[in-house]
Structure 1
């Protein structure tokens, strides 16, 4: 019976993915009679960029080439100097389509958008010594450089109008401003920021967090080419999980190999993409147990095997209205460890540090990797003072532990929540206490309420 069910599911997948794409007579005529003028920048690596042979390449380019092959589209591509040039060419019909963008209702007067073919989270880059950014609201009041009219710019400007945006021509220009300390942060999608930081040598910068908002990549088509939109929509849903995985794996692993500064973000992005791909491919099937395993995987940090930020955020949401205390922990001088001993040694210390925290975990306590070298402990039903006793015990264990590579210490910030507390404020209080612990010399425990005069 089980074998029969597997065979039926396999047959269903095969039939679905290999079924003919039913084009209308009008769509078929459009493909026969139309030569498509595509346009793209080469300034949004690794989505669109020049390769070693000065040819246009990247994630979005690969998806376009795949769709062209599937639909038998005749086309050539113009390379524009910047994104605003792309938009003006689509608007005046000098070009017919561009590959790497997201839906924007303001452009519907001159363009249509296809179904999304892949999604990426928006990420924040800061100077290396800045603290972790738990969510987008932490950027309010800050100066944030962003590619003008980029999808990330449009999405974040709409949702966070209090951020002081500094529009520039592309993300590389934004990172130059950040590296020169002329802005507080840079935003763009995760693979773009990770690629530029590693490949352009911005070793004083880091990815400090991601937004809950994502950029859903689509193709933008001139308004009057409705047949082209409907053709591409039909072929986008036929892109298989294997085809998507091959493109993403190529650009987010092989091309980043040996030079990426911080692998954790890429691994987390790949897990998210993998889940999305599986969902859209198998959403009509009964794969409950398999999805449960994937769900569990998505909530585990790939390096330390602790809960990741997504899992911790979920836990905090469930605790709203209850009493608990938070302990935010940051490994002291971690940048120095990476700079002197290398990132491999830094990862070894993170793993050992996480093992210490897990070993000393007690009932009604949860722990996760909050980001980078920061960890968050949740103590249910406990006050700040009770949490401080446990934190001081951990501080003593850590400073006396043999990490082999070098002596390691940590700083602790503690805050308490009650039934009326806003989770965002509780996190901010713990972060402020941690900052004060760092400011006062590190390797100490600070309680948030003690900072109030």
Structure 2
């Protein structure tokens, strides 16, 4: 009996050993002592998530003297947790890559006691501040201090003892600490304290990056992706089960002897920071990384320019699936798919084949997942939705995520956000707001999700349910309806089909329809697979697909029409010319004496005709060129900010070309708006914040902070407080001539504008290498407006590109130094938020009896 037991034990040990040998051994270096800050990794190890992804993970504990980034860079660890200074590590030449950023805000703060009378940043002067070397170099802390014009020479920095009692006992006046840990200890001692958090001053930084080496990414991407997926699974579990995770740490990872309550407190705080302004755990936005990099650069911390895109792991051409998800695909290769068959060019049937934007998009997903989508044909959206609900199709390729559908469907991340527009007869006026059409009947599709949204937003409007846009168009032509509301490209396509000189787009609504892939509620694995595929497709790939269909529709609009016009004109001229030739021959037979005279007349007529032909052809070519240029502008989203202004003009009749231009601008503009919406998160508190992050621009079309009155001089001074004036051992001299004037607006956004313009001048000085470096800032208070001029002596902007600098993603800098969105964002903020204008030109002027030339930015703001 004992022999049997020993044999069983031996076999189990052998199986366990064989299984362990199949796992990939990797190491993770922590950046601090064990606590809830690393709970996701403990959970992934203890729950077997790492093993599920084929990994055998050793978690290396922290000790003083260990630098987690150096451990990865020197190949002593495969993965590590890194702090917000990761960008500076990359600048220093360390070949590391961030897989995700766990915390969207840094938990690092400064603390003072209430009874110390240190209640504001300005009170730090001549006080003792206890920090670690890393804490002092964290840009968020440094920027927060500099934003209040503190002189670092007057700050007494002490070496950190990591003992909060040094603050309590008065051994230091201010101490750096983690918001998730130290406040708990002070609360237990009933000690009142002040928190100075960089995020409260507009400096939102990522923290706790999961990093690996470039070598691992290049040679074993599968392992890197497996670790990332397993770790995120662990973090999702930890944040969903904070008490269970705290108990695990308390029992097994607790050399600091933390209490259960302390661990749970830490978990609650860190959870809020991990999900701050994001829907997906670990999300890294390149725009925010660029914003942080720009702040480093302004503060003079960037010695070597780097390509920040290489700092973050991009989604690859393939997606990483778990073993369970791969097994699902092996068993379910063919997936029945319903579509919306009549929203051209987004989704439609052509010769019984699925065509349009969503067709191309789903083909990419097929390539990424190896799935095969089998089209189930339907007549309309209602039938597609009914088929989907009844199980006749597994997925619905384009549907809006609304509450009524969540009981039977899961929805992937939105694929595209489509604007809604109003179609009317071409003799109707353009309008800004459809609420003024209360006495007009407007058709809306009765089965589309935005039907209910429109009725809720405009309860006083007279909306009429219709089966499709064709029904509305017939009623518009017979004056039964004033107009019809539908998707922008669908509307434009119908306008073209109906000779589009009778109809036009008269308004762009402040509403859009985000469309996703709907998956049946009981098919959770399919939902996870498709959501991963959607997240892996970049904005550039989506734009490329959309541009393809824009180009097809655009060519269809004018190519044939132009061809027929030229052909008919040519035939007419040829017939006229032949008629003249015959007539002249007859006259020659009867009037020989006038041959010479008539021949000369004929030559003259021929010359005139030739000139007319050339003129006509040139005019057509100009139209062709203009239309092509308009298409390009629409694709780039350039000039979208002018549409609202143009729609306010009392226009009654508009030509075909102008109507097309407006539509094309609106098409790409909304996509750009979304890119910005995904990257801009909140607006800086305008009275206390020095600068804004890219996230603060997320709502710049609908700002969620209140305006307030601030002095322009104070805002400019705050901006210049953190500006690094030194370039190549020379100093930039800023000459200010600012009248005492206040502005009722958003101070944080105003500061962002000044930072972008001044920083551009600084970069221009680097390239120009001039000996005299001046920046002039003049503010004048006029009767109805405030005029701000910012100019430099850096030689000006190349005249060939000066008209392009406000375009999105246009940059003259090296690819490692700029994204090309700074000045574009400035123009968006001024036009949309501040109701002003900005323009640039090269200007020559005299200063100190010497002639200079530079770029002059002129900002005009309405009072």
**TM-score class normalised by the smaller sequence:** 0.5 to 0.7
CA–CA distance in structure 1, aligned partners of residues 540 and 859 of structure 2: 41
Q: Which position in structure 2 is the counterpart of 1:113?
A: 411
CA–CA distance in structure 2, aligned partners of residues 285 and 238 of structure 1: 22
Q: Which position in structure 2 is the counterpart of 1:268?
A: 666
Q: Which position in structure 2 is the counterpart of 1:418?
A: none
Q: Which has the larger radius of gyration?
A: 2
TM-score, normalized by length of structure 1?
A: 0.61
CA–CA distance in structure 1, aligned partners of residues 426 and 463 of structure 2: 20
CA–CA distance in structure 2, aligned partners of residues 109 and 81 of structure 1: 24
Contact 1:191 1:266 in 2 (8 A): no
Q: Which position in structure 2 is the counterpart of 1:295?
A: 825
Instruction: Write out per-residue CA displacement over residues 177-213 of structure 1, whole angstroms, 9 at most, x where no aligned residue.
Output: 2223211111112111112111342431110111111
Q: Which position in structure 1 is the counterpart of 2:330?
A: 32
The 1:288–1:253 alpha-carbon spacing in structure 2 relative to 1, beyond 3 Å, is same
CA–CA distance in structure 1, aligned partners of residues 490 and 498 of structure 2: 12
CA–CA distance in structure 1, aligned partners of residues 352 and 528 of structure 2: 32
1:5 positional shift:
4.3
- Bigger relative CO (Cα 8 Å, ≥ 6 apart): 1
User: Is there any run of 5+ residues in structure 2 with no aligned partner, and where?
Assistant: 1-90, 92-301, 559-655, 682-692, 696-816, 837-857
Q: Which position in structure 1 is the counterpart of 2:358?
A: 60
Contact 1:112 1:220 in 2 (8 A): yes
User: Helix, strand or coil for the counterpart of 2:407?
Assistant: coil
Q: Which position in structure 1 is the counterpart of 2:574?
A: none
CA–CA distance in structure 1, aligned partners of residues 673 and 305 of structure 2: 23
User: Helix, strand or coil for the counterpart of 2:512?
Assistant: strand
Contact 2:319 2:368 in 1 (8 A): no
CA–CA distance in structure 1, aligned partners of residues 662 and 537 of structure 2: 27
Q: Which position in structure 2 is the counterpart of 1:218?
A: 516
Give 1:252's match in structure 2, choosing from 550, 553, 564.
550
User: Helix, strand or coil for the counterpart of 1:22?
Assistant: coil
User: Helix, strand or coil for the counterpart of 2:391?
Assistant: coil
CA–CA distance in structure 2, aligned partners of residues 314 and 107 of structure 1: 36
Give 1:199's match in structure 2, choosing from 497, 517, 521.
497
Q: Which position in structure 1 is the counterpart of 2:298?
A: none
Q: Which position in structure 2 is the counterpart of 1:397?
A: none
CA–CA distance in structure 2, aligned partners of residues 146 and 219 of structure 1: 23
CA–CA distance in structure 2, aligned partners of residues 258 and 56 of structure 1: 19
Contact 1:240 1:281 in 2 (8 A): no
The 1:189–1:293 alpha-carbon spacing in structure 2 relative to 1, beyond 3 Å, is farther
CA–CA distance in structure 2, aligned partners of residues 281 and 79 of structure 1: 38
The 1:28–1:142 alpha-carbon spacing in structure 2 relative to 1, beyond 3 Å, is farther
Contact 2:423 2:485 in 1 (8 A): yes
1:252 positional shift:
1.8
Contact 2:408 2:520 in 1 (8 A): yes
Matched, 1:95 2:393: yes
CA–CA distance in structure 2, aligned partners of residues 118 and 74 of structure 1: 22
Matched, 1:11 2:541: no
Q: Which position in structure 2 is the counterpart of 1:132?
A: 430
Q: Which position in structure 1 is the counterpart of 2:232?
A: none
Contact 1:113 1:218 in 2 (8 A): yes
Q: Which position in structure 2 is the counterpart of 1:429?
A: none
The CA RMSD over aligned residues, in Å, is: 3.3
Give 1:158's match in structure 2, choosing from 456, 463, 476.
456
Instruction: Write out per-residue CA displacement over residues 188-244 of structure 1, whole angstroms, 9 at most, x where no aligned residue.
Output: 121111121113424311101111111111112222112222211112111123211
User: Helix, strand or coil for the counterpart of 2:542?
Assistant: helix
Contact 1:244 1:277 in 2 (8 A): no
The 1:160–1:12 alpha-carbon spacing in structure 2 relative to 1, beyond 3 Å, is same
The 1:160–1:289 alpha-carbon spacing in structure 2 relative to 1, beyond 3 Å, is same
Q: Which position in structure 1 is the counterpart of 2:344?
A: 45
1:168 positional shift:
2.0
User: Is there any run of 5+ residues in structure 1 with no aligned partner, and where?
Assistant: 300-306, 319-362, 367-379, 382-453
1:82 positional shift:
1.1
Contact 1:48 1:58 in 2 (8 A): yes
CA–CA distance in structure 1, aligned partners of residues 399 and 319 of structure 2: 25
User: Helix, strand or coil for the counterpart of 1:80?
Assistant: coil
CA–CA distance in structure 2, aligned partners of residues 19 and 11 of structure 1: 16
Contact 1:36 1:75 in 2 (8 A): yes
Contact 1:42 1:49 in 2 (8 A): yes
The 1:225–1:162 alpha-carbon spacing in structure 2 relative to 1, beyond 3 Å, is farther
Number of equivalent positions = 309
Instruction: Write out per-residue CA displacement over residues 300-355 of structure 1, whole angstroms, 9 at most, x where no aligned residue.
Output: xxxxxxx9xxx3x6446x9xxxxxxxxxxxxxxxxxxxxxxxxxxxxxxxxxxxxx
The 1:73–1:297 alpha-carbon spacing in structure 2 relative to 1, beyond 3 Å, is farther
TM-score, normalized by length of structure 2?
A: 0.33
1:162 positional shift:
2.6
The 1:179–1:228 alpha-carbon spacing in structure 2 relative to 1, beyond 3 Å, is farther
User: Helix, strand or coil for the counterpart of 2:472?
Assistant: helix
Deviates more, 1:23-32 or 1:286-295: 286-295
Instruction: Write out per-residue CA displacement over residues 153-176 of structure 1, whole angstroms, 9 at most, x where no aligned residue.
Output: 232123223322222222232222
Q: Which position in structure 2 is the counterpart of 1:323?
A: none
Contact 2:340 2:398 in 1 (8 A): no
Q: Which position in structure 2 is the counterpart of 1:235?
A: 533
CA–CA distance in structure 1, aligned partners of residues 668 and 336 of structure 2: 32
CA–CA distance in structure 2, aligned partners of residues 246 and 174 of structure 1: 32
CA–CA distance in structure 1, aligned partners of residues 514 and 413 of structure 2: 9
CA–CA distance in structure 2, aligned partners of residues 97 and 57 of structure 1: 17
Contact 2:317 2:368 in 1 (8 A): no
1:297 positional shift:
6.2
CA–CA distance in structure 1, aligned partners of residues 823 and 461 of structure 2: 38
User: Helix, strand or coil for the counterpart of 1:193?
Assistant: helix
